[in-house]
Amino acid sequence: MATEETGDTTDSTGQASAAASSATASSSAGAARSTWKTHLLTFAVTVLAVWIIGTVGAIYFFPRLVYARAENTVVSHGLGCSGSPGIPINMLSTTPTLALPSKCNSLESTGNRDTLYTVGWLDLGTEPEVLHVPDMAGRYYAVEFLDPWGDVFAYVGRRATGTQAGNYLISGPGWRGAVPGGVRQIVAPDNTVLLIGRTFVYSDSDLATAYRLAKQIQVTPLSHWRHSP
């Protein structure tokens, strides 16, 4: 009888050991699956985060990169091809002829052949600039101001301000000085501003007159500006 009991005990111990081994193996497999799922989830979250950050970054910074490249091109080469004289910061330049299809800059490849362009970059970090426009006597013209994101934040021209002579103070977002009398203020959202002006040309015989007027669209630092009656 004692021998039978020992055998039973051995069998029970073996079954318990096998069950324990099975449980351990199952636990190890479950842990492995859990670790694999954790790694997969971490990878998926990382990919999603990188995609979101990359997309937002591209949307936010791409316009500024394009803006910076255009600024460098205009300052280095003006509206011409490589080798043409540039337009210094806080100065405006007017094209003396109507635009032709060109690979050198985007302004001259828009298909617009009835206006003269006046272009320049403003740096308002030191002080504001005063924009002067002459009396256009009813002639269509427009001066638009763009921020580094490519958004037009203000206009001066026939549709917005009329065609009479005028002076406009272009100031940065942090400027708190006094605006001279008879001058309208335009507050820019950034200290870097792209100015693009267009003056309509009625015909080939009108080109010289239009150019004479367009050249009078100029900017002057506030500290050097004196009001002319």
Can you give the residue ranges of every domain in the chain? 1-77, 90-224
User: d(Cα 144, Cα 152) in Å, to the nearest integer?
Assistant: 7
Residue with tokens 């490249």: 69
**What one-letter code names the amino acid at 39?**
H
pLDDT above 80 for 176: yes
Minimum mean pLDDT range among 70-74, 199-203, 207-211: 70-74
Burial 17-29 (b: 16+ CB within 10 A, else e): eeeeeeeeeeeee
What pTM was estimated for this model as a whole? Answer: 0.69
Banded pLDDT at 1 (limits 50, 70, 90): very low
pLDDT computed for residue 82 by the predictor: 54
Nearest Cα to Cα of residue 200 among 117, 134, 95, 133? 117
What integer is the mean pLDDT of 124-128? 96
What is the side-by-side strand order in the sheet with 129-133?
184-187, 166-171, 129-133, 218-221
The CATH T-level fold of domain 90-224 is Immunoglobulin-like (2.60.40)
Nearest to 132 by CA among 222, 200, 223: 222
How far is the C-alpha of 169 from the C-alpha of 187, rounded, in Å?
8
CA 189-195-200 angle, to 5 degrees, is: 135
pLDDT in tens, 97-124: 887 665 555 555 555 779 999 999 999 9
Q: Which residues contact 77 (CB under 8 A, 6 or more apart)?
A: 83, 84, 85, 86, 104
CA angle centred on 146, ends 100 and 189, rounded to 5°: 170
